[in-house]
Structure 1
């Protein structure tokens, strides 16, 4: 069955791959980007099935306008994919105020605004699916990406609460949690804080570990996102990438062990 799908950050990476996967199978896609010219190729190839709209996700008013235009143009809106976002590289001490605020403006508030804009329309329809592109780093943090980690943890929290709030209206929520992929997420899309040399050793170790990771192939995610969109009962959370679950299993085992070790103090603190 043909679906109408809005996806942000559709000019490259996952956004572009997924938009094309939907269009190839006959869905109607509203693709958004800050620079609408970057979507010209998709419009030329897919014609009336594709609507390109300019969107800065940090602009709440524009976000509501775009959702309204998308709904009016195709007469409905089945799926919204909050994909726009970027990574901020730098330790907590190194991040500037502007860098920290901008990271949250895009990754957290952009996701919040689009969700708030979509919910009333989907509630009126009695159906819908909001997909938030989070990260495995929204579940476990690593050094030198603390602000990015924090932004994705925030996306996880607000989306989990939202899922419980809107399921009564027939609206599904899914958090997609990719691990490392060979996209430009750590390249042209990324922002790097001004470095402080005392962290150079740590930074080098983190980068070396990242370089040794078995990065996934972005194109392989196309079939996965189609399955998530088509599921009658989609998951609240799903990892993309084979190394995510083994790592998170260890992370949770370590957390539980730490809580158990201090459980006597915890219980005593109850009074």
Structure 2
């Protein structure tokens, strides 16, 4: 039965992760989910059956992730679908953010996901099947958001290693999908999921203006419905052929086209310069 698939979802205490876990359990799937507070997550989800395994895991620790994967396999039997969803937003221009702030964002958003992939792959390789959904962002495809540079970089990194993963695992029957959500009506833009620079610099006009736009115009008006996103994840996971690139939300879809058009324009405009660097025959 398809509903006996085991899903492993990280960062499931709120937002898209929480909505997805609730939807999966309601549809009869087995679910392991991580949070910084497993009991709070269990209470929020309100499900006590043996098909749900809440885990408190430090995803930046490869040892802790390995222990969690072993526990999932032991208690739920296997892992079929992984959703690398854990992460947080980091505001601040490149000059404003300290080395520590930047590295911490990479530790969680990038290296945490790599720890999960590294430890789940032996399970997937053994059975020659499995699906990864690595959550990037439209900011991991279109990076022209002032004050979001480090966060963008983490999400571009997720896209980059997922493309490589899809090529590395193609002959093993394993898929890897980059998910680029737009703005969804979750608490991502609220305190706890979004951190500000410890030492902001007033000169950065564009970054400050975008912060105001997020605080005054976008919060509460996000076009994306988390329930519809959860349904989309399940639908794609059940497909035999899964996409490498999955844009979620009409805003994400539109911004992707904006980026593609901009790249195509630069390719066309500067084609002669691009090709002038070849050895001349």
TM-score tier by shorter-chain length is over 0.9
Following superposition of structure 1 onto structure 2, how do residues 115-194 of structure 1 map, counting pairs within 5 Å? 115-141=117-143, 142-188=145-191, 189-193=193-197, 194=199
Instruction: Indicate the larger mover: 88-97 or 176-185.
Output: 176-185
Say if 2:225 is the partner of 1:217: yes
Say which SS state the counterpart of residue 187 (structure 2) adopts: coil
Say if 2:34 is the partner of 1:26: no
The TM-score with structure 1 as length reference comes to 0.95
Measured in 2, the distance between the counterparts of 1:255 and 1:44 equals 47
Partner of 1:73: 75
Measured in 1, the distance between the counterparts of 2:174 and 2:55 equals 24
| Long gaps (5+) in structure 2 | none
| Long gaps (5+) in structure 1 | none
Measured in 1, the distance between the counterparts of 2:257 and 2:212 equals 23
Partner of 1:4: 6
Measured in 2, the distance between the counterparts of 1:197 and 1:268 equals 42
Deviation string 1:201-220 (CA, Å, 9 cap, x unpaired) is 21243235445455122232
RMSD: 1.5
The TM-score with structure 2 as length reference comes to 0.92
Q: CA deviation at 1:43?
A: 6.9
Measured in 2, the distance between the counterparts of 1:225 and 1:181 equals 14
Question: How many equivalent residue pairs?
Answer: 270
Q: Specify whether residues 71 and 42 from structure 1 end up closer, same or farther in structure 2 by C-alpha distance, changes over 3 A only.
A: farther
Partner of 2:245: 237
Measured in 1, the distance between the counterparts of 2:80 and 2:157 equals 25
Say if 2:277 is the partner of 1:255: no
1:205 to 204, 209, 224: 209
